[in-house]
Amino acid sequence: MLSPDLLSLPFFDDEHRAFAGRLAAWAEREVPGLVDHHDVDGSCRRLVAAMGEAGVLKACVDGSQGGLREGLDVRTLCIARATLAYVDGLADFAFAMQGLGTGPISLFGTPGQKAAACPSVREGTAIAAFALSEPDAGSDVAAMATTATRVAGGWRIDGEKTWISNGGIADRYVVFARTGEVPGARGISAFIVPAATPGLTIAERIDVIAPHPLARLRFDDCVVPEDALLGRPGQGFAIAMATLDVFRSTVAAAALGMGNRALHEATRRALGRQMFGAPLADLQLTQASLADSVAELEASALLIFRAAYEKDRGKPRITKEAAIAKMVATENAQKVIDRAIQVFGGLGVKKGEKVEELYREIRALRIYEGATEVQKIVIARAHLSQFQN
Ligand SMILES: Cc1cc2nc3c(=O)[nH]c(=O)nc-3n(C[C@H](O)[C@H](O)[C@H](O)COP(=O)(O)OP(=O)(O)OC[C@H]3O[C@@H](n4cnc5c(N)ncnc54)[C@H](O)[C@@H]3O)c2cc1C
């Protein structure tokens, strides 16, 4: 949940404030009944359907496709992720993937491609996925080996993608593959691939410490029609980077939501736990721990909404701002959650405790959509370039 103090800042308008209030009430009321962490596929399907019905997924699509605003409003996406992640990591995941999986289509699709993909995503009747990473091309996207070769009437995709969120339950994947116009990053293109396309198979379901639907995909002679191509041949890397430019700040927002929840849990525990004849919260070392967490979360929030605000007000790229927000917010949230566990003592590591769940949930956010080290490189390059011209 985002604080009224934060939402009163001029980064936001009244529509944002109203959306935050409506979503927080909906999430607290509905999400617990939809999530079963032992059935992540079923949970994600239920969450997507319910979010579609409640109109929450309008935030994930272009305004021209029934979205809330023109284009993708990054502040709304960030508010949604911070709010949902506060309640449950899987709810955040289900929401985020509808946005990320459709982001390339919203940003680069033709009117026909948008009309074919966006309504079902908005209504929660189709599940979306974004397939960029490969076994030997994670941080180094340009090392991609999956190929797309021109054939009569379309393209044939061959290769492998891994760590694909919603892999196994998605109805549609945006797949990046090498088309070879030039070597390296500029020889990659993006394609819309329905899950039922012959030649696309789920090679492996991947189990991770905070379970959610995740898979390795195989493409063997997987033929898609000409109009599956998004943008121009060779534009795939630019499409991926522009999409991540929008969604990186939202990963930071999810981390903020998890950190806020951990601080809330730690504070209640510190106030309620009696120790040495007084509440744990009376001890100054506890207060120092809480103070560090408050300050780190507020700093994260300002960086996230600075990046989102800049994008929404028309700055073409927010690469540096988004990288700073993602790096600081995910690293801070990890520290805040770790401190919360410490406040809980033994109970903090007991399976089923909220802070134990958050400790597992936060970890991958420091890795996906660019690990912290990758963000550092992005930030340093942007900084150095100011001195090099
Ligand atoms: C839970 C989860 C969900 C994911 N969902 C998706 C998805 O939906 N779609 C998708 O395409 N991908 C997805 N990914 C993949 C994710 O984007 C990659 O894991 C990430 O880009 C890192 O790639 P890698 O795992 O191959 O690690 P590697 O590229 O092998 O990197 C390993 C480590 O090297 C370090 N490193 C990287 N670059 C540098 C550098 N320049 N200098 C020093 N150190 C460096 C970092 O610490 C990094 O963690 C997901 C991953 C996870 C864990």
pLDDT for 33 beyond 80: yes
Average pLDDT over residues 224-251: 96
> What pLDDT was estimated at residue 90?
98
What is the whole-number distance in angstroms between the Cα of residue 152 and the centre of ligand 1? 35
Average pLDDT over residues 158-178: 98
State the Cα–Cα distance between residues 346 and 324, nearest whole angstrom.
34
| pLDDT band per the 50, 70, 90 thresholds, residue 1 | confident
Report the range of poorest mean pLDDT among 69-73, 87-91, 219-223, 354-358: 69-73
In 3D space, the residue among 371, 373, 341 whose CA is nearest the CA of residue 359 turns out to be: 341
DSSP reduced 3-state for 91: helix
State the Cα–Cα distance between residues 77 and 81, nearest whole angstrom.
6
Nearest atom in ligand 1 to 131's CA: 11
In 3D space, the residue among 290, 289, 271 whose CA is nearest the CA of residue 281 turns out to be: 271
Of all protein residues, the one whose alpha carbon is nearest to atom 14 of ligand 1 is: 163
pLDDT for 120 beyond 80: yes
pLDDT for 230 beyond 80: yes
> What pLDDT was estimated at residue 148?
98
What is the whole-number distance in angstroms between the Cα of residue 84 and the centre of ligand 1? 24
Catalytic residue set: 369
What is the best residue among 258, 326, 331, 367 to mutate for testing ligand 1's pocket, by most ligand atoms within 8 Å of CB?
A: 367
State the Cα–Cα distance between residues 59 and 336, nearest whole angstrom.
28
In 3D space, the residue among 98, 103, 165 whose CA is nearest the CA of residue 127 turns out to be: 98
Average pLDDT in the chain: 97
For residue 167, what are its two tokens? 């892999």
Q: Are 127 and 158 in contact, with CB atoms under 8 Å apart? A: no
Pairwise pLDDT comparison (255 vs 317), residue with the higher score? 255
The tally of CA atoms less than 13 A away on the side-chain side of residue 82 is 34
State the Cα–Cα distance between residues 349 and 20, nearest whole angstrom.
31
> What pLDDT was estimated at residue 183?
87
Q: Are 332 and 259 in contact, with CB atoms under 8 Å apart? A: yes
140-155 per-position pLDDT tens digit: 999 999 999 999 999 9
H runs (alpha helix) in the chain: 4-7, 14-34, 40-53, 74-87, 89-108, 111-123, 236-272, 284-312, 319-344, 354-363, 372-388
Average pLDDT over residues 238-252: 96
Give 35's contacts (C-beta < 8 A, 6+ positions apart). Answer: 43, 46, 47, 88, 90, 91
In 3D space, the residue among 50, 23, 22 whose CA is nearest the CA of residue 34 turns out to be: 50
| pLDDT band per the 50, 70, 90 thresholds, residue 256 | very high
| pLDDT band per the 50, 70, 90 thresholds, residue 134 | very high
| pLDDT band per the 50, 70, 90 thresholds, residue 71 | confident
> What pLDDT was estimated at residue 184?
87
If you count them, how many residues does the chain have? 389
Q: Are 189 and 177 in contact, with CB atoms under 8 Å apart? A: yes
List beta partners, residue 155. 150, 224
Nearest atom in ligand 1 to 133's CA: 11
What is the whole-number distance in angstroms between the Cα of residue 141 and the centre of ligand 1? 10
| pLDDT band per the 50, 70, 90 thresholds, residue 193 | very high
Report if pTM > 0.85: yes
pLDDT for 389 beyond 90: no
Nearest atom in ligand 1 to 137's CA: 26
DSSP, residue by residue, 298-360: HHHHHHHHHHHHHHHTT-S--HHHHHHHHHHHHHHHHHHHHHHHHHHGGGGGSTT-HHHHHHH
What is the whole-number distance in angstroms between the Cα of residue 116 and the centre of ligand 1? 31
Average pLDDT over residues 362-378: 98
| pLDDT band per the 50, 70, 90 thresholds, residue 182 | confident
State the Cα–Cα distance between residues 53 and 154, nearest whole angstrom.
35
194-209 per-position pLDDT tens digit: 999 999 999 999 999 9
> What pLDDT was estimated at residue 70?
84
- Measured from CB, residues less than 6 Å from any atom of ligand 1 are 130-133, 138-139, 163-165, 208, 214, 364, 367-369, 371, 373-374, 377
